Structure 1
Amino acid sequence: MRVLIVSQYWAPENGVPQRRLAWISEILVNAGHQVLVIAPPPNFSRKVNLRTWLRKQLFKPAKFIEYGEKGEQILRTGFVPAGRSLSLRILHQGTVALGMLWAAAARRQIVTEFQPDLVVGTVPALPTVVVARLISEFLKVPYAIDLRDAWPDLLRDWEKWNEEVGTPSIRERLLSKGPAQALVFFVEKVVESCLNRADGLVLTSSYLAQEMEKDRRQAGLRKIPIEVVRNVFPAAVLLQKQPNPSKASLNVLYAGTIGRAQQLSNAIYAVYLASQQGVEICLKILGDGAAKSSLEDLAKKLNVNVSFEGKAEPDKLRHYYEWADTALVHLAEWKPLERAVPSKTYELMDLGLHISAVARGETAEIVRNYEAGFVVEPGNPGALARKWEVLARNREKLQVGSRASSWVEYEREKASPKALFSLLSQFEQSGDSDERKF
């Protein structure tokens, strides 16, 4: 089959969406399928000043096809430089989506000669679902959505998005008085419509798959293939960890996005409460995100042993993993996040590193069922502090068995490829249509 993927995230970046999609592309290409990608340049090349960006021209499509490391072909698009605030990120994603459409139209000969049997749009970056739908309609081929989180349900919690990022800017306060509500309502309806009309869904959560199947039945929508492909792509590091039973303190590592949905202030308060009980917790937070600055201010205010460092490349990440006694997986109290599993959960399970999970729903169930660590409810720093105190005083509890890593290996090698091929099998006859056009 020939699969056209539209995504706002692609290699050579090393983020979660990029690694997931590179892994999926490799599975498809190795099985004999062809993959064409429409994506913007890597994010690090998009952090440019206005003058440099103007020279690049907003909607200027690539002149030539690139070839990715996994055997995929890549058609690059235009972009607008991204900003850290929520409003600038929305603007950035919207303009990249327009750039995708422009690239597909301007290089339609490349797209039509590829003759895709299926268009796949990837989320995060909600505008991509619209791009996938429009391109599929132009080409007269079906489309599927690769949905990482519980969208559009997360949109209904939009007022909580800035809880962790400190005082909102004047622009964001003004926009929240009416324009934000209107935009959220519009985006929710558009995304819902695109999901309802999709010919297939690829999800990362079995909870979300069950919920969407139920919702579609109740709404009287047609039955479509819904497959679960978890974020069990290979870990970026190899770990040879030696336990240290003599230590009196506890090293806790958080490596990932420092954003709105993580609510890491809860963990900083937990470090503070443990210190009040005479237990030394050393928390290192690796990464970047919208909440980093406000969390740094909180840690300084509480005078706790919390350090912030930038995103670590795999060679340095291994050092941090070897330093850590336990790794933190942390989600906010938002209801839709009960149907989401942070990809870091699978990497930590694969490496055999003890997990401190602050979560409900599927993440909590996985950590408990496969004995990968402990679980506490979000929004309860006292409970988290007590769990860390127990680990610091009973270090034998940091040892985890092989159940977790064996399950991740099964999901990666067996369950995920089976789910992907099951989805594609529903569209194998699509390539016979002579009605494709652009």
Structure 2
Amino acid sequence: MKDILIITSYYPPETGAASNRIFHLANGLKKHNFNVSVITPLPNYPTGAIFTGYKGKFKHITTEKGINIFRLWIYASNSKNKLLRLFAMLSYSFSLIWVFTWNKIPKTVIIQSPPLIVAYTAVFFLRSKQRKLILNVSDLWPIAGLELGALKKNFSYKILERIERFNYKNADLILGQSEEIITHVKSFFPKKNTFLYRNYPDFKPLEIIHKIKSKKKLTIVYAGLLGVAQGIYKLLQHLDYTNIEFHIYGNGAEQYKIISFVKNNPNLPVFYHGEITREELHSALLQYDVTVIPLLNRIYGSVPSKIFEYARLGLPIIYFGGGEGESIIKANALGWIATAGNYNDLNKVIAKIKPFEMDIELKQKIKETALKNFDFNTQLSNLIEKI
């Protein structure tokens, strides 16, 4: 049985794409007879506060589903203050250094990036000929930070670029969640060993049930992080509500803005349902006609994992984010494309979709496409050949 360590900043009971991605990877490797250990901070995302049951602890060690989980101290914060957020990342990095100093580390290590500085800490201290470092790149920082407006091209940005390239250079294998990420890495290191590792989910999809619609309005749902990048608050302000209902699940930085909007606009068909478990969410999503996947700005290298998860449920998608995600939607006939950032175009696309068109045959076709083209286990088996 081969030992393997995964270093990540996100893991259940935290929710979200990053947490789910690493959980499925760890669980999949365990099923393939790897002895899997995970190092992660004490759970705090996305609230920026340590979860109940973990507060006041320097570390928390458990074995969950046969996976050894080492949760380390972190100064938890989701403050908009850049210095506080930097200190939060550095605090986890200090905890990692403490572990590296006093514990035996397996010869194969998977390192999640971003956060860029956390990945740098792991790569810097673990690089050696005796270890194989696998860098799992899910977003391109610092480019993504620049496109989101979180970073500016200054001296600090240049330092982050140097850190990014150091990580790529010293990794033995780089996993990229998009073709754009792979292309970006190859632009610096053409001979670097890379592997396209999409954020495919690993769950048994529920049966699609045909429901007779009693309403003439199209029911649209958004479920996920209510962050600045997703732009749900701005979306609420620009939607044409004439023939739609809009339902929202999740939490994040814009949560209270959204709650306030719903409260202050009682005549609009907008409904906020809070955050529920992933299993509950999958059941809830089946009652809606379509889902919308927006990004406030097109982010190079980013492909929302919701595409693969909701397609697996058979839920048609309105994609409003640009980039590589558009190509995936089109190539697999998963739904409709609206021009990124153009709310008039989004409303025109929505207006063309009729509720009676959302029949069980369409949803079943999308589900079958996802099961065939976005298979987690096939992808994992191909990855294991490279580990």
What range describes the TM-score normalised by the shorter chain of this pair?
Answer: 0.7 to 0.9
Alignment of 1:182-221 (within 5 A): 182-217=155-190
Query: Which residue does 1:34 correspond to in 2?
Result: 35
State the Cα distance separating 1:403 from its structure 2 match: 5.0
Partners of 1:28 and 1:210 in 2: CA distance: 27
Residues 311-350 of structure 1 deviation map (CA, whole Å, 9 limit, x = unaligned): 21135314531331111111133341xx321111111110
The answer to whether the 8 A contact 1:207-1:362 is kept is: yes
Alignment of 1:289-308 (within 5 A): 289-296=252-259, 304-308=268-272
Partners of 2:260 and 2:169 in 1: CA distance: 43
Partners of 2:116 and 2:268 in 1: CA distance: 37
Alignment of 1:370-385 (within 5 A): 370-385=332-347
SS in 2 for 1:423: coil
Partners of 1:181 and 1:397 in 2: CA distance: 49
What is the letter of the counterpart of residue 331 of structure 2? N
Partners of 2:383 and 2:174 in 1: CA distance: 10
The answer to whether the 8 A contact 2:6-2:111 is kept is: yes
| Distance change in 2, residues 1:139/1:80 (3 Å) | farther
Query: So what's the TM-score if we normalise by structure 2?
Result: 0.86
The answer to whether the 8 A contact 1:253-1:320 is kept is: no
Query: Which residue does 1:66 correspond to in 2?
Result: 62
Query: Which residue does 1:256 correspond to in 2?
Result: 224
State the Cα distance separating 1:371 from its structure 2 match: 1.2
Partners of 2:59 and 2:262 in 1: CA distance: 45
Query: Which residue does 2:3 correspond to in 1?
Result: 2
Alignment of 1:279-298 (within 5 A): 279-296=242-259
Partners of 2:281 and 2:302 in 1: CA distance: 24
| Distance change in 2, residues 1:68/1:182 (3 Å) | farther
Query: Which residue does 2:319 correspond to in 1?
Result: 357
| Distance change in 2, residues 1:93/1:306 (3 Å) | farther
What is the letter of the counterpart of residue 117 of structure 1? K
The answer to whether the 8 A contact 1:284-1:308 is kept is: yes
Partners of 2:59 and 2:247 in 1: CA distance: 41
Query: Which residue does 2:132 correspond to in 1?
Result: 142
| Distance change in 2, residues 1:195/1:152 (3 Å) | farther
SS in 1 for 2:69: strand
Indicate the percent of aligned positions where both proteins have the same amino acid: 20
| Distance change in 2, residues 1:326/1:417 (3 Å) | same
The answer as to 2:157 corresponding to 1:155 is no
State the Cα distance separating 1:48 from its structure 2 match: 4.9
What is the letter of the counterpart of residue 326 of structure 1? V
The answer as to 2:367 corresponding to 1:396 is no
Task: Between the two structures, name the one with larger relative contact order (CA 8 Å, sep ≥ 6).
Answer: 1
Mind listing any 5+ residue stretches in structure 2 that lack a counterpart? Answer: none
State the Cα distance separating 1:61 from its structure 2 match: 4.4
Note the aligned Cα RMSD (angstroms): 3.0
Bigger CA radius of gyration: 1
The answer as to 2:292 corresponding to 1:328 is yes
Query: So what's the TM-score if we normalise by structure 1?
Result: 0.77
| Distance change in 2, residues 1:157/1:340 (3 Å) | closer
The answer to whether the 8 A contact 1:7-1:38 is kept is: yes
Range moving further from structure 2, 323-332 or 149-158: 149-158
State the Cα distance separating 1:304 from its structure 2 match: 3.4
Moved over 4 A (4+): 295-303
State the Cα distance separating 1:363 from its structure 2 match: 0.9
What is the letter of the counterpart of residue 98 of structure 1? F
Query: Which residue does 2:197 correspond to in 1?
Result: 229
| Distance change in 2, residues 1:11/1:397 (3 Å) | closer
SS in 1 for 2:127: helix
Partners of 2:163 and 2:321 in 1: CA distance: 29
Residues 37-82 of structure 1 deviation map (CA, whole Å, 9 limit, x = unaligned): 2222222797259xx96x53xxx445xx52221x222222111132
Query: Which residue does 1:92 correspond to in 2?
Result: 88
The answer to whether the 8 A contact 1:7-1:122 is kept is: yes
The answer to whether the 8 A contact 1:286-1:311 is kept is: yes
The answer to whether the 8 A contact 1:239-1:318 is kept is: no
Pick from 208, 212, 232: which aligns with 1:240?
208
Query: Which residue does 1:130 correspond to in 2?
Result: 120
The answer as to 2:308 corresponding to 1:346 is yes
State the Cα distance separating 1:232 from its structure 2 match: 1.2
| Distance change in 2, residues 1:229/1:403 (3 Å) | same
The answer as to 2:278 corresponding to 1:314 is yes
Partners of 1:356 and 1:67 in 2: CA distance: 40
Alignment length (residue pairs): 379
Partners of 2:367 and 2:302 in 1: CA distance: 18
State the Cα distance separating 1:295 from its structure 2 match: 4.3
SS in 1 for 2:319: strand
| Distance change in 2, residues 1:333/1:83 (3 Å) | closer
State the Cα distance separating 1:236 from its structure 2 match: 7.6
The answer to whether the 8 A contact 1:371-1:404 is kept is: no
State the Cα distance separating 1:7 from its structure 2 match: 1.1
The answer to whether the 8 A contact 2:41-2:73 is kept is: yes
The answer as to 2:235 corresponding to 1:267 is yes
What is the letter of the counterpart of residue 122 of structure 1? Q
Mind listing any 5+ residue stretches in structure 1 that lack a counterpart? Answer: 162-175, 218-222, 425-438
